[in-house]
Amino acid sequence: MAYTVRKLDDYAPAALDAAVHDLLSAVGQEAGSVAGENDWKLFRDRWMARKNGILTQVNDLWLKAAPGPAKREVGARVNQLKTEVERAVDAAQQRISSSGSKSRLDSERLDITLPGIRRPLGAEHPVLRTMSEIVQVFRAMGYSVADGPEIETDYLNFEALNFPPNHPARDTQDTIFVAGQERKPQRDRLLLRTHTSPVQIRAMMATPPPIRVVVPGKVHRADTADATHSPIFHQVEGLAVDTNITFCDLKGTLDHAMKAFFGSNVKTRFFPSFFPFTEPSADVSVTCFKCGGKGCRLCKMSGWIELLGCGMVDPNVFQFVKSNGYDSRKISGFAFGMGVERIAMLKYGIDDIQLFYQGDVRFLEQFN
């Protein structure tokens, strides 16, 4: 039976003590059965609510109703009851909140003997890895590294490299132009650079001769993607200018670089070629590093693989940077360039260039 407050009819001290005892044992019992936050709120309100809480009823039915001579005795006991009830309510709250945090501790227990989460290490992308390996070969020969913007002016991408406006050589590089520039003079129009060569001009504008730079970077052409073409790919380009630089220096440098990159028994071969910014120009082949020159599918049975283009810097190019000390009567130089994807495909035996750009971890994790 839940405790209810009844009017007192006997104000003798022994009868008052008995009433107090009944009430305290009731509050103790109810406090003991409080099991959670909601329980506790109901318990608190039942005993302590201003309006109709048990303590309020005790005040009304015991103290206010007591006859004058008994008020002192009753009042002392009512005060004692208030203190005891408040203490019981506080104690119940303490008990449920500490048991709550204990169960939380239990549920969040950390088993430090469980194995940890192993995070797989990433690997350098094969294109970037190949590019930095090539750069490293030339750095070891004393070349510094330069780079430049991918959005370039027509002037630096073509004109200063001896591709005059309307020159047919421009057609060999399908160019992506930035839209809405019809009002600008042609040389100021912006495009996505079709090769890293404009950085050669930028380097010569920034540094008087002698200069030796290698330029790794991303280039863009309006090519349809297929197994050997991508509208975005990477090149490494090099430039050396000094007094008395000859074609022999070019041959020796590239022969050494290819041996450093592919192995010391690789041979190189130079064929006449054409590039607007070099004269004479050459294509360079290396002996097939798969069959060693005997002939296989990779080299199409020829024993040779065509890898890069090069040549002596055309004196017309020096005209554009003459004011910075590039006087073609006093200095000469050579330049070379290669496609990074092509070299990576040959080196790792990859037959589809698109694999480089698809981000498929099953492909990429082979290069760990």
Question: What is the closest distance, in whole angstroms, from the C-beta atom of residue 288 to Zn ion in the complex?
Answer: 3
Strand residue runs (E) in the chain: 144-145, 151-153, 190-192, 211-220, 232-242, 268-275, 278-287, 304-313, 332-339
9: left (phi over 0), alpha (psi -120 to 50) or beta: alpha
Report the residue number, 218 or 269, with the smaller CB distance to Zn ion: 269
Write out the two tokens for 226.
């297929």
**How far is residue 303's CA from residue 297's CA, in Å, rounded to a whole number?**
9
- Pick between residue 12 and residue 301 the one whose CB is nearest to Zn ion: 301
From residue 256 to residue 275, what is the string marking binding to Zn ion with x (rule CB under 5 A)?
--------------------
Report which of 304, 325, 326 is spatially closest to residue 315, judged by C-alpha positions: 326
Residue nearest to Zn ion (CB): 288
Whether 305 contacts 288, CB under 8 Å: yes
Question: Looking at beta carbons only, is 184 or 300 nearer to Zn ion?
Answer: 300
Q: Which is nearer to Zn ion, 257 or 266 (CB)?
A: 266
d(CA 257, CA 253): 6
Q: Select from 88-96, 267-275, 283-291, 312-320 the region that touches Zn ion (CB under 5 A).
A: 283-291
Name the minimum Å distance from CB 262 to Zn ion: 12
User: What distance in Å separates the CA atoms of residue 236 and residue 342, rounded to the nearest whole number?
Assistant: 11
CB 31 within 8 A of CB 92: yes
Give the integer Cα–Cα distance in Å for 286 and 121: 35
Total site size for Zn ion, rule CB under 5 A: 6
Interaction with Zn ion in 97-126: which residues (CB under 5 A)?
Answer: none
Residues 290-319 that bind Zn ion (CB under 5 A): 290-291, 296, 298-299
Residue 288 touches Zn ion, criterion: CB under 5 A: yes
Residue with smaller CB distance to Zn ion, 269 or 290: 290
Nearer to Zn ion, 280 or 303 (CB): 303
Least Å distance, CB 296 to Zn ion, is 3
DSSP notation for 91-138: HHHHHHHHHHHHHHHHHT---TTS--PPPPPP---HHHHHHHHHHHHH
Q: How far apart are CB 123 and Zn ion at their closest, in Å? A: 27
**Residue 322 CB, nearest distance to Zn ion (Å)?**
45
Nearer to Zn ion, 26 or 291 (CB): 291
Using CB under 5 A as the binding rule, the residues of this chain from 139 to 178 that contact Zn ion are none
Rounded CA-CA distance 5/14 in Å is 18
**What is the rounded distance in angstroms from the CA atom of residue 270 to the CA atom of residue 247?**
11
Segment interacting with Zn ion (CB under 5 A) among 63-71, 116-124, 281-289, 336-344: 281-289
**Please, what is the minimum distance in Å from the beta carbon of residue 297 to Zn ion?**
7
* Cβ distance to Zn ion smaller for residue 169 or 298: 298
- Rounded to 5 degrees, φ, ψ at 118 are -85, 120
Interface region with Zn ion, contact rule CB under 5 A, candidates 91-99, 180-188, 289-297, 329-337 = 289-297
Shortest separation between residue 261's beta carbon and Zn ion, angstroms:
17
Q: Strand pairing partners for 312?
A: 334
- Residue 303: CB minimum distance to Zn ion, A: 6
Closest separation in Å from C-beta 343 to Zn ion? 15
Angstrom distance (rounded) from CA 46 to CA 33: 14
Give residues in contact with Zn ion (CB under 5 A).
Answer: 288, 290-291, 296, 298-299
